Amino acid sequence: MRLHSITVRNYRRHKELRVDLDPARTLIGGPNESGKSTLVEAAHRALFLKAKGNSKEHREMLSLTHGGKPEVEVEFEAGGSRYTLSKSFKGTSGITRLMQASGKTWQGDEAEEQLSALLKTSGTGRKLAEQWNHLWVWQGSSSGDPLAQANAERETLVQRLQSHGGAAVIQSALDTRVAEHFANLIKELFQNAGEPRKNSEYGQALQAESEAMEAEAQARSILQNLQHAIAQYERASTQIAEADNALKHQEAERVALDQRSAEITRLRLLEQDQLRTANEAIRLHESRLNAEQKVSELRRTLASQRASLAPQNEKLGTLKQASLSARLALDETEDTLRRAEQTLQEARAQHDLAQAQASLQEKNRLQDRLKARAKQIQDLLEQRTSIEQQAERLPKVDAAALRQLQGLERAHDKAQAVLASVATEIEVLSSPHPVQAGKETLINGQRLTLTEETELAVGETRLRIRPGGGTSLAEARQQEQETLHQLREALAKLGIKTLAEASAAQAGREHLQTEWKTVTAELKGLDYEKLAAELTAAERELTAAKAEVERRHATGSPASLDLAATKRTLAETETHQQTCRKQLEAQQSGLKKADAALSLQGESMRALETEITQVETRLSMLIEHEGDDHTRAQALAQAQILKTTAEAQITDTRQALAQHQPEHLEADQARFERAWKLQSDKKMQAHEMRISAAALLRSDGSSDPAAALALAEARLQIARAHREAAERHARAVKHIHDLLLEEQQTLADQFTRPLAERVTGYLQRLFGTDVQVNVTLQENQFQGLTLSRASQGAFSFDSLSEGAREQVAAAFRLALAEILAESHGGCLPVVFDDAFAHSDPERVQNLQRMLDLAATRGLQIILLTCTPADYAQMGAHEVRLVPSFS
């Protein structure tokens, strides 16, 4: 089966589109939204979806931009004949027509049945998307496991594989019965998970052995428990005696700890009383010592302050004299500054008048320049107006109009040349009769050029001459007339007669335009648009300058002054005034500093006198409170004696306390309590253990535990021997069954080898000659697609990268299509819709080799891609689609 063309109308984005397909290789390229997938979808639905219906697939075909119902036409070849399939999807009124090239036609349901027979599809129970899923790789599904497609076509594929040698390895009927017998035995012996069945001989033997083992363990446990109880009773009695002995020794330690704790408590109370007495003696001694130190410190401070009072008085007199001198110098400088400022004011008035006079002269000169510029601008404006008037008198022929006229003239010249080339010239060389050509009579030696069909008469002979071979002459003449009319009409529209006049007019207009631009540039250089504003501003400034000069004259200043001289005088006067001001500021600062120093010295003197008075008062009050020097000395000595005695008593008490190690008392008590509790608990647990053992030993002793254990061990040996025999039998059955399965798998591997070899052949074009593919057939299903390489070992399809899965799945589909094509006249179309989006550029180059191999083996490859340049090496017939939204 081979597709030849696809035509769609009113199908989604396509208004009408026809694509012819190459018998072997077709590359359909175009960007996203150009409708590549839509095109092949339409072909698929035409082949497998009935025209009548209102399903989701029918509704998805409708175009949102074009009117009318979707129509699809597919031309294909099947069974050695060519067919045209037409489907119009109009809901319940859908139309199907199948026409054979020989002329036979089917309509409606009959056409659908005939189409299904040609495609060899049952169509029952299979969804639309599953039809030819092994041949049609939809966008986004290229990396899926290809075994699903192989199993979907399992029945047809198995038939074809049998024809490739698989039929020779099918099992015989006896082999099948033997395999089924042992399979049934396995089902009777084992569960699905491989565990023995409980009702089988093997399962019952295992159960009997388990019960015997449990009885033996129970008998052994009883005997061991009795032996353990005897040992436990004896061990408990020993532990009770050991605990009683330990508790007796710990009681003596308890008495010693209590006595030690009482003595430590007594000594700590005594230490606290002695510490309070000692602290009181220390505070009294420190108070007496501090009073003596304060008296000495106040006496030293008073002597120092009285010694510094005389120099401070002398410094105060010096500062008063310096302040008076600074004030006199400041008064003298202020008089000098007032005289300098009066002189500066007079110099500034002279300078302002000179400056106003200079400004008036400058304003007069500026006005003269502006008037001259106005005259120049007026001349240029008149010149530009003249140029514009000259241009208006010329025909309006610009460069574009001239090019158009030249084009029309060339077209006319070409038409004349064509007319002349098809014309025919007649020359009368020698004739006994006059030659009549139309209305012209020719004699010997005359010539006539014919440009239209003409009758020629020579005596009784009449001829018809068609120059140029027929209708081409009329066309040439019509073309010559039309071009001449267009040229004359264009000249008349511009008001000229010849192309030379048009060229001269265009040259004149360009020359005037150049002159106009030059004049305009000169006007812009003179800034003529701002001239009026500048004249008005200059007039206003000139009036203001005159008024300023008149006002300065009214103050009594001279009529005319030298601006430079007044400027020099003003500068000299300003310098003198600034010098005087700086001197005044320096003297003011000096006076301020002298006054500040004098004030500071006065405040310092007053503060010193106040401090002397305060120290004298504090010293007098301290002596009055603490006593004179003799009284204070006696009190200090008595306090020292009390302090020394109290500190000695505390030292003796602390030494006695240290001998009892009070810091370890709490740890020793905790250790004793812990040891006491441990021995008491140990004694209690031993009592409980001895009671429990005694109770067990007092139980019923009518049975013999040792004899019961011996009987249980004998029964266990018998059960174990029975289980081992049943196990050997079950293992033998399983071993035979595994051998049969292994042989069946070997046969299945031979059965799938033609498919694996074809896949390997394609993949070797991609990955090299060391790649191998393995596919197994288990439980009538294709399973276990794996790849292997000599350097890497085997790996499953699912472990491959996205790009590698695309490539392996493509190879598998090609091999599948190649095998199934044998039932379709040796060819099937395989469509790849952007199926290699994750493949790198190097793999894409090798993919083209693989696709080309499939085409050489008879398959029809149809590849859709957004990047057709990547597949330029495949040598395919290329169809380019472009996005269209109208």
The arithmetic mean of pLDDT across residues 589-604, rounded, is 84
pLDDT score of 28: 93
**In a shared domain, residues 107 and 217:** no
**In a shared domain, residues 816 and 865:** yes
Q: Choose the final residue of a domain: 436, 470, 504.
A: 470
Sign of the C-alpha dihedral computed for residues 416, 421, 423 and 425 taken in this order: positive
Q: Choose the final residue of a domain: 572, 594, 626.
A: 626
Structure tokens at 225: 């428990």
Higher per-residue pLDDT: 532 or 471? 532
pLDDT score of 150: 65
**In a shared domain, residues 370 and 404:** no
Q: What is the pLDDT of residues 277-332, one digit of tens each?
A: 888 888 888 888 888 888 888 888 888 877 877 787 888 788 888 888 888 888 88
Q: Which residue has the tokens 């000599």?
A: 790
Is the per-residue pLDDT at 526 higher than 60? Answer: yes
pLDDT score of 560: 65
For residue 738, tell me if it sits in a domain: no
pLDDT score of 169: 45
**In a shared domain, residues 544 and 425:** no
For residue 640, tell me if it sits in a domain: no
Is the per-residue pLDDT at 601 higher than 90? Answer: no
β-strands 2-11, 877-880 pairing: unpaired
For residue 709, tell me if it sits in a domain: no
**In a shared domain, residues 129 and 238:** no
Own/partner long-range contacts of 300-305 (Cβ < 8 Å, ≥24 apart): 301/615, 302/612, 302/615, 302/616, 302/619, 305/608, 305/611, 305/612, 305/615
**In a shared domain, residues 155 and 270:** no
**In a shared domain, residues 426 and 518:** no
Structure tokens at 4: 């030849």
Query: Do residues 649 and 271 make contact, with C-beta atoms less than 8 angstroms apart?
Result: no
**In a shared domain, residues 28 and 106:** yes
**In a shared domain, residues 356 and 289:** no
Domain extent at residue 234: 203-306+649-692
For residue 698, tell me if it sits in a domain: no
Alpha carbon of 309 to those of 266, 313, 318, 320, 605: distances in Å? 65, 7, 15, 17, 8
CATH of the domain at 24: 3.40.50.300
The arithmetic mean of pLDDT across residues 361-368, rounded, is 81
For residue 642, tell me if it sits in a domain: no
Structure tokens at 629: 């020097």
For residue 326, tell me if it sits in a domain: yes
Domain count along the chain: 4
**In a shared domain, residues 871 and 755:** yes
**In a shared domain, residues 379 and 295:** no
Task: Give the C-alpha separation, 110 to 115, whole Å.
Answer: 9
Is the per-residue pLDDT at 779 higher than 70? Answer: no
| Cross-strand pairs, 880 | 29
3-state secondary structure of 763: helix
- Tell how far CA 743 is from the center of its chain: 56
Q: What is the pLDDT of residues 62-110, one digit of tens each?
A: 887 887 899 999 999 998 899 999 999 988 889 999 999 988 999 999 9
Query: Do residues 438 and 454 make contact, with C-beta atoms less than 8 angstroms apart?
Result: yes
Query: Do residues 509 and 394 make contact, with C-beta atoms less than 8 angstroms apart?
Result: yes
Q: Choose the final residue of a domain: 433, 455, 470.
A: 470
Query: Do residues 81 and 102 make contact, with C-beta atoms less than 8 angstroms apart?
Result: yes
Residues 6 or more apart from 785 whose CB is under 8 A from it? Answer: 145, 146, 147, 773, 774, 775, 796, 797, 808, 812
pLDDT score of 702: 55
For residue 481, tell me if it sits in a domain: no
Q: What is the pLDDT of residues 480-518, one digit of tens each?
A: 888 888 888 888 887 888 888 888 888 888 888 888 888
For residue 149, tell me if it sits in a domain: yes
**In a shared domain, residues 505 and 569:** yes
The arithmetic mean of pLDDT across residues 631-660, rounded, is 86
Residues 6 or more apart from 477 whose CB is under 8 A from it? Answer: 419, 451, 452
